[in-house]
Amino acid sequence: MVRRATATLVVVALAVLAGCLGGGGAGAATTVESTATETAATTSQSGSPATAAAAGDVTVEVVEVVDGDTIKVVMPDGARETVRLLGVDTPEVHAENTPDEFEGVPETAAGRTCLRAAGEDASAYAKSRLADRTVELRYDGKAGERGYYGRLLAYVVVDGAEFNYDLITEGHARLYESSFEERERYERAERDARERGVGLWSCATEGAAAGGADATTDDGLSLSVVADAPGNDNDNLNEEYVTLRNDGDAAIDLSGWTVSDAAGATYTFAGGTELDPGASLTLHTGSGTDTDEDVYWGRGGAVWNNAGDTVTVRDATGDEVLAYTYE
């Protein structure tokens, strides 16, 4: 009993002494907690260190263009970072290309050779726009700041233009299958580039990607078709589609117009469907929510035969406006 009481007195004395020498135990605890809080504040949700400009744009210097979709930059604090351009994928120039990643490009030596040349074009385009330039990095809340390899993920803004988006519209890149806020806009831009057959899409051999519009009227209404969806058509119905584009000067009222195949399967546009000058409207075979740019047939199986078919467009009175036969 005596030894236990003595030990207790010694512990109390040491605690008091430590408090006097350290300026107060409560203050020390507060310092530790503050440091932990600051450390947590500099760490992103992915566990990677967050950049100082995570909430907005950050101005950087481009010191190297690795290829069409990767650059190296110097950050404001002097740190050197590799930036993977968000949402885009250009053909490889430092490795072998996989043609089936690019819709319509054949799995042949010719397809791979064509993609390599397209990758070199994309790299040259990136160098002409970004090399030794001051640019802004813009982060995306949905994608996060860093990818799997620790590289920054960002939109690159140069001369006020979003370079990532320009890569898509010029056909230098495909849409990269990932989650990011600009995805829908990039999807539309990629589809338009495929239909025009520009850039890497000149390597494609299927449907509209082979050379832009398949049929055009004197008034500027054009039709293109992508009949062969990636993989099994019946499992990927929304990648089988027909696109109407209005390059004329006046809006076209598509109410009651129809699109049909050679077997007589027919889709009728709803009342109030209008195609403005410069706009396009894509009819997907599968299901979805109709928008100003996309409408859905709602069929349970593929319509357009890969081996050949005829696409016919008729107006509300039943008169033929456009017809296109592919083989």
Q: Which of these is catalytic: 84, 174, 188, 194? A: 84
User: Active site includes 206?
Assistant: no
The b/e string for 286-320 (b: 16+ C-beta within 10 A; e otherwise) is beeeeeeebbbbebeebbbbeeebebbbbbeeeee
- Kind and range of the H or E run holding 89: strand 88-89
C-alpha angle with apex 54: 50 to 55, nearest 5 degrees?
A: 145
DSSP 43: B
User: Active site includes 92?
Assistant: yes
Q: Encoding tokens for residue 42?
A: 């500099």
- Kind and range of the H or E run holding 296: strand 294-296
| 260, β-bridge pairs | 266, 312
Cβ neighbours of 76 (radius 10 Å): 12
Q: Which of these is catalytic: 81, 92, 145, 206? A: 92
């070199």: which residue's tokens? 120
Q: Which 3 state secondary structure label does DSSP give 35?
A: helix
DSSP 237: G
Q: Which 3 state secondary structure label does DSSP give 323?
A: strand
Bridge-based pairing state of the strands 134-138 and 294-296: unpaired
Residues 303/297, Cβ–Cβ less than 8 Å: yes
Amino acid at position 227, single letter: A
How far from 142 is each of 180, 241, 281, CA to CA, in Å?
5, 29, 28
Q: Which of these is catalytic: 133, 138, 151, 183? A: 151
Q: Encoding tokens for residue 137?
A: 């990095």
User: Active site includes 84?
Assistant: yes
Give the residue numbers marked as catalytic. Answer: 84, 92, 151
